[in-house]
Amino acid sequence: MSTLDTIVQLIYLAAAACFVLGLHQMNSPATARNGNRLSAAGMATAIAGTVVLIAAGEMGTVNLSAWIIIAAGVVVGGGLGLYTARTVQMTAMPQLVSIFNAVGGGAAALIAIDDYIRLSGAGGAIPLEISIPTVLDVIIGSITFTGSVIAAGKLQGLIAGQPIILPGSRLVTAALAAVAVVGALFLFVGNVSLPVFALILLAGLLFGVTMVLPIGGADMPVVISLLNSFTGTAVAMAGFVLSDPVLIIAGALVGASGAILTKLMADAMNRSVLNIMVGGFGTGDAAAGPATGGPGGSVREIGADDAAIQLAYAQHVIIVPGYGLAVAQAQHGVRELAELLEARGVDVKYAIHPVAGRMPGHMNVLLAEANVPYPQLKEMDEINPEFERADVALVVGANDVTNPAARSNTASPIYGMPILDVDKAHSIIVIKRSMRPGYAGIDNELYLNPKTGMLFADAKDGLAQLVAAVKAV
Amino acid sequence: MSADLLNALAIFLLAILVGFEVISKVPATLHTPLMSGANSIHGIVLVGAMVIAVEATDPLSQLLSFVAVAFASMNVVGGYVVTDRMLQMFRKRPTVSAPARPPAADEPKS
């Protein structure tokens, strides 16, 4: 190992340390931005070190075309990344993360493809310690690529959000998985075959499509997390292929982070990851549980003026935002209302369910964008004991995550799902357009609770009415 | 099994454990920036993409490595910039007069 090579290897190590420390600083909103910058600095150093290594000829003679490829790739890709990152709407964040995920997984798969073409062209056997990571890289990378593209398409509304289940599609998915596994084993036992490798690649690409198509839009937080974990794993495999420790470390970190988030999201929906991947929930085809409204339940409608009086004279108000709020672009309205109430001495907090939004933590970003101070954003476990003391719980655009049936009704499809204990507040105001059920297709008995007043309006209009009415109080 | 592979496997395993340890402490409030930040970290695949670009001699390899470099660059640059954009919105106190202005008009990012 030359001196220069040693130095760059040490730089890679320092970069890996920056990634870990940067992620560590993400544990508080106060330090998170520095953490991300530390991670970016580590990345920049690692890339610069690689460029130096290439320029010094440590990887063999470099011809001009290689430089042109690298420069053009960085300009095109970096430019596109910069542009989309600067212009994307915060509501579209899940799509963007999916796209970045797709290209990351795609790049990892391309490395494996390129490597395999070279190795198979060189003739001779490929040692198992190269063929295993190469094949795994191409399988995971290709699944991630097409899977993330489909997920982004669904989130963007280019592909129908509902689960798309073609007849026999599960059979096709299983067959594709079988092709990939058999092909992989064929290569592992010592065969070198470019066509088989291409077949595995094709199976992986199609598998990504058939895996994500049947998954409903509301399950996207889980899917995105899972695909994120896949990309990390694919990058780690690329690290094995190229024997590059920094790729292994970075890939493993991301793989772990995606795995944790996947588990958290699935838990927040009270479903197993497997159950979500098999799909079918949130389709409306799952038989809706019987509406157990309880005896004598009826809906009480409330006007904006009455609601405003309740809010204005309350001491503690908890706002429960759901994705409906984001869809209606009503984040600023809710912040305005909260500020008005605070000016009157009301204590306002936000209760955020883990799956509020289309990706983990999405609602927090949307509210932060609307200038809501993060100390007011409370996680489910933290806020649930406080509902008992809340004078008013204001539910805006959230449905299933407030349904008490998840606690009490064993027949309900969402039974066991952790929910926000909105029904424990002294009184409840729900802004909702109609009595239409949420994505799970089940009735919410919260709306029949005698403590609940329904303010029938679009989230944005409803909040505007409340703001005007509170001002007039 | 070679010593190199054994080392690589040890690194892989330890990095996964470190990842679990570090990430499970991140509050739900920051899960979106966390995911997007982790996303940028796997942009390190750019290092690998540059390596295959150097080794590429035939047109097919050159094409593959070009796409790989472009994909990875998009991942790195976009990932870090968008994470930074999100994180700068997390404030302890509301700032005075912050109307909904186009985010792109914010101060330049690193």
Which pLDDT does position A327 carry in this prediction?
A: 79
Q: What pLDDT shows up at residue A439? A: 63
Residues A168/A171/A176/A182 CA torsion (nearest 10 deg): -150
What is the tens place of the pLDDT at every residue in A13-45?
A: 999 999 999 999 999 999 999 999 999 999 999
- B100 token code pair: 């909904």
Active-site annotation holds for A458: no
The residue type at A425: A
Q: Between residues A456 and A275, which one has the greater pLDDT?
A: A456
List pLDDT tens digits, range A117-173: 999 988 888 888 889 999 999 999 999 999 999 999 988 888 877 777 777 777 888
Task: With a cut of 90, say whether residue A190 has pLDDT above it.
Answer: no
Q: Are A386 and A317 in contact (CB under 8 A)?
A: no
Rg (CA), chain A: 26
**B96 interaction partners in chain A (CB closer than 8 Å):** none
Q: Which among B1, B18, B41 is the top mutation candidate for probing chain A, defined by the most A β-carbons within 10 Å of its own β-carbon? A: B41
Reading the block at residue B59, the tokens are 């047109």
**What residues of A are in contact with residue B2 (Cβ under 8 Å)?**
129
Task: Give mean pLDDT, residues B77-83.
Answer: 96
Q: Is it the case that residue A105 has pLDDT exceeding 70?
A: yes
Task: In whole angstroms, give the CA distance from residue A70 to residue B69.
Answer: 6
The answer for residues whose C-beta is within 8 angstroms of residue A90's C-beta and 6 or more apart is A365, A366, A369, B86, B103
pLDDT the model gives residue A287: 36
Run of H or E including A317:
strand A316-321
Interface probe, candidates A100, A120, A233, chain B, greatest B C-beta count within 10 A = A100
Choice among A219, A400, A421, A443 that is catalytic: A400
Q: Smallest CA–CA separation between B41 and chain A, in Å?
A: 6
| Contact (CB<8Å) B82/A32 | no
What percentage of chain A reaches a pLDDT higher than 70? 95
Identify the three-state secondary structure at position A159: coil
Residue A294, pLDDT > 70, answer: no
The Cα–Cα gap between B45 and A234 comes to: 10
Cα–Cα distance measured from residue A303 to residue A309, given in angstroms and rounded to the nearest whole number = 10
pLDDT digits (tens, 9 = 90+) for A415-434: 888 999 999 999 999 998 88
Could you say which of A87, A247, A361 has the minimum Cβ distance to residue B47?
A247
Closest Cα to residue A440, out of A224, A280, A205, A321?
A280
Name residues 42-101 of chain B within 8 A of A (Cβ): 42-56, 60-62, 64-95, 98, 100
Closest chain A C-alpha to B10 CA, distance in angstroms: 10
Query: Does A291 have pLDDT greater than 50?
Result: no
Model confidence at A290: pLDDT above 50:
no
CA distance A72 to chain B (A): 8
Cα gap A413→A411, rounded to integer Å:
6
Structure confidence by residue, pLDDT tens digits, B12-71: 999 999 999 999 989 989 999 999 999 999 999 999 999 999 988 899 999 999 999 999
